[in-house]
Amino acid sequence: MNLLKTTADAGLLSKLEANGLDLVTLEKLLPVIEEIGALRLVGNNQQLLINGVAPLLVEPAPLLLPIIAGALEKGPSAFYLASAVAFGLDAYLFATNAELPFVGLSAGVALGLLLVPLGVVSAVTGSALASLSKK
């Protein structure tokens, strides 16, 4: 899928470094990640991650990498905006009682399973980038 080439073409790593996330910062985070047990959690759930989560991240990656690179270029505010849009869209779907066609399920609930985690991840990413740029 040429993910490495797409990552390089988008300039993702240089944009991360411009936002304050470099190898020295990542190295400082490793003991914290180990202390909270994230490595043990990943190790115990390898098959679930490989079979369930990895395809969800790898398949859309060629489309998402340039978008993420553009957001990194704009800074934390782009991630805050993405979070507000995701939460706002879900709130709108609930307020209008929208339903999924042919299924009849509430669109706010069904799409909320995607929009709420997307909003949370975007907000956390924006906050992390903001805290890195202050240092």
Does residue 57 sit within a domain?
yes
What is the rounded CA–CA span in Å between residue 11 and residue 103?
A: 42
CB atoms within 10 A of CB 68: 18
Residues 79 and 60 in one domain: no
Quick one: pLDDT band at residue 135, thresholds 50, 70, 90?
A: low
Looking at residue 123, its pLDDT comes to 97
Check pLDDT > 90 for residue 23: no
Does residue 59 sit within a domain?
yes
Contact 105, 133 (CB under 8 A): no
**Model pLDDT for residues 68-82, shown as the tens digit of each residue:** 999 999 999 999 999
Check pLDDT > 90 for residue 39: no
Does residue 109 sit within a domain?
yes
Does residue 70 sit within a domain?
no
Residues 57 and 90 in one domain: no
Q: Last residue of some domain: 14, 35, 65? A: 65
Query: Number of structural domains, the chain?
Result: 2
Does residue 120 sit within a domain?
yes
Which domain does 42 fall in, by range? 1-65
Residues 79 and 61 in one domain: no
Which residues touch 19 (CB under 8 Å, ≥6 apart)? 72, 75, 129, 132, 133
Residues 59 and 99 in one domain: no
Residues 2 and 40 in one domain: yes
